[in-house]
Chain A
Amino acid sequence: DGGITQSPKYLFRKEGQNVTLSCEQNLNHDAMYWYRQDPGQGLRLIYYSQIVNDFQKGDIAEGYSVSREKKESFPLTVTSAQKNPTAFYLCASIPLRDTAYEQYFGPGTRLTVT
């Protein structure tokens, strides 16, 4: 079955450590997105990529980095520069051939930094 996978579901790290969240899709979608969600809040866009080897900052990119070396993969690194990294992270993708821009979401990763 096609879909988006994010691993792991729960991730724990010590303060000061970088951590990379995985996002893989086998839907052959062109664009991929990373969102952050805090309790009781909506989703805030961190980074997005519409093509391999290219990506753009979203609204809250500071303290995060991404890469897009393969169409299927869009890993997010939460660096030690991110002041408050504990949050729920969602990855999404869009087939750009679909002009509706309907997003398909992964199950998310809950990151806890102590």
Chain B
Amino acid sequence: AQTVTQSQPEMSVQEAETVTLSCTYDTSESDYYLFWYKQPPSRQMILVIRQEAYKQQNATENRFSVNFQKAAKSFSLKISDSQLGDAAMYFCPSYSTLTFGKGTMLLVSP
């Protein structure tokens, strides 16, 4: 089974700045996927980005990118040019157990 850890309960960033959210995981599987989801105040869960472990290239979706370090089992999310609409809870769930930890609350200030 895969376990994940988000060590930052809360992060703050100013508009237009860059912020990185951390996620570390542990797995014995050789191929797997990793995801970042956001949950804004509306509480709708939205997929932000996904990464397949066998792909060495880091995934990118517009202002969102990941820093995937397979050997270190690290999967951080970088948000560039932060916007007020990025304020949300961010979750990095376990691929195999589909469990979501407490997440990281991102606050964005003008």
Contacts and interface: CB of A to CB of B under 8 A. Distances in A.
Contacts, number: 51
**Chain B interface residue number, banded:** 20 to 34
The secondary structure that dominates the B interface is loop
A40 B37 CA distance: 16
B9 to A, nearest CB: 9
Interface residues on A, range: 20 to 34
Interface string A76-109: 0000000000001010100000011111010110
A43 B52 contact: no
B50 interface: yes
A35 to B, nearest CB: 7
A42 B45 contact: no
A72 B102 CA distance: 29
12 contacts: A43-B93, A43-B99, A43-B100, A44-B99, A44-B100, A101-B33, A101-B98, A102-B35, A102-B50, A103-B93, A103-B98, A107-B43
Given A37-B43, A107-B42, 5 more contacts: A33-B98, A40-B102, A41-B102, A100-B33, A108-B44
